[in-house]
Amino acid sequence: MSGLPDIQHSETDTKGRYFIRLASGEEAEMTYSKAGPSLVIIDHTGVPDAFRGKGAGLALVARAVADFGAAGKKVIPLCPFAASQFRRHPEWAGMLKT
């Protein structure tokens, strides 16, 4: 995950996104929807070819997990990539909405 620009975050009342923007303007992103005050749904992770092999997708999900955990939120990872990362990181299991 080294060599990536800083992860940025933006959100509205109902949705949010974490993203990394290259100087060329290309973006990798992970989006989520708010399903209440303590529940978020990760619904999409998109990583263009310019980011492939650099760990951008994992960096985005890990940052979101850290932020959601600090805020006491539970997560439903509908995005296949995010769901696979939750399976690979059992330390995140306590954050899953059951």
Per-residue pLDDT band for 2 (boundaries 50, 70, 90) equals low
Name which of 7, 8, 59, 16 is nearest 39 in CA terms.
Answer: 16
pLDDT in tens, 37-66: 999 999 999 999 989 889 999 999 999 999
Give the mean pLDDT of the chain.
94
Residue 44 pLDDT: 97
Query: What residue ranges define each of the domains in the chain, with the CATH number in brackets?
Result: 8-90 (3.40.630.30)
Q: In whole angstroms, give the CA distance from residue 58 to residue 94.
A: 18
Span 85-98, mean pLDDT?
A: 94
